[in-house]
Copies of this chain bind each other. A is one copy, B any other.
């Protein structure tokens, strides 16, 4: 009787082991990129990850070197009609003016407060820099984080009427997870503000603050009135993490070359070139916004309408073709754009 009970337990254990094994197999065989249509883009991603994580492959990359870099605006989330952070800065102007009433009748603050969209759209780069400096510096790091969190909780995208953080691309979320599940450290490398993106990157993309590389200003160490040490954001640019600034930012923060890089605009060109210049297997991909119905369509590559927000020029398209970079067509490669879609 005891022996029968023991036998039963062995069978239970065996069943458990077999069960675990087959569910592990099932997991391995599950499509890691279910929102991607079968095609050359999906194939390139899967082949790259398999080759660089297979110890028997000549393209094998040891785990500590597995770095993948992702642009954010237009690559991981929507950046039209305007970059989210620029909207944030414009919408922060009333709060800044409330604290400093002397700015109320001074350009460019006056223009922003007027609510005249045409006038705002015509603001010069210098005007914009003044607004960015006023809304992104002068406060402590903690105050800034609180301001951004508060805004993100209520601000909505004009087209989808949803929080901006809902507007990440489901296929790219799958790529981030797929890379991480295969031992890659995923980094955001963005022209946006490093401190801005760090506020939500962990929650929205599963990317911790130390893996966000962005445009960054200095901070100044000092003490609050109660003696508590604080870091205050200064209007001093340390790195403009766009175009040539992207490989420079990668070197500054990461210190080694990525094996994979994803972008969507001319601002990502140098990051992709730098990635490709390393030895062994490298994956370079560009998202082409060619789906006006489900998202936006802009180029001017491929005859799509031109834009100043994340332009994908014909020259970039030609370079991609020449260098073997993969162009992802949102229209053809992505089954689904957003997580909230049916």
Q: How many copies does the complex hold?
A: 2
Q: Can you list, as one digit per residue, whether each of A247-259 has a CB less than 8 Å from chain B (1) or not (0)?
A: 1100111111000
User: Which listed residue, B208, B210, B229, B253, touches A270 by the CB 8 Å rule?
Assistant: B229
Residues of B contacting A220 in the complex (Cβ-Cβ under 8 angstroms): 244, 248
- Residue pair A231, B251 in contact (C-beta under 8 Å): yes
Selected interface stretch from A3-11, A75-83, A122-130: A3-11
Selected interface stretch from A105-113, A175-183, A211-219: A211-219
Measuring CB to CB, which residues of chain A are less than 8 angstroms from any residue of chain B?
2-4, 6-7, 9-10, 13, 64, 67, 141, 185, 194-195, 198, 202, 208-210, 212, 216, 218-222, 228-229, 231, 238-239, 244-245, 247-248, 251-256, 270, 273-274, 277
Task: Pick 18 A–B contacts, CB within 8 A, sort by A.
Answer: A2-B7, A3-B3, A3-B6, A7-B7, A195-B255, A209-B256, A210-B254, A218-B248, A219-B248, A220-B244, A220-B248, A221-B245, A221-B248, A221-B274, A231-B247, A231-B251, A238-B252, A252-B253
Closest Cβ of chain B to A292, distance in Å, is 34
- Residue pair A270, B3 in contact (C-beta under 8 Å): no
User: Which listed residue, B212, B219, B244, B245, touches A251 by the CB 8 Å rule?
Assistant: B219
User: Which listed residue, B3, B4, B67, B221, touches A244 by the CB 8 Å rule?
Assistant: B221
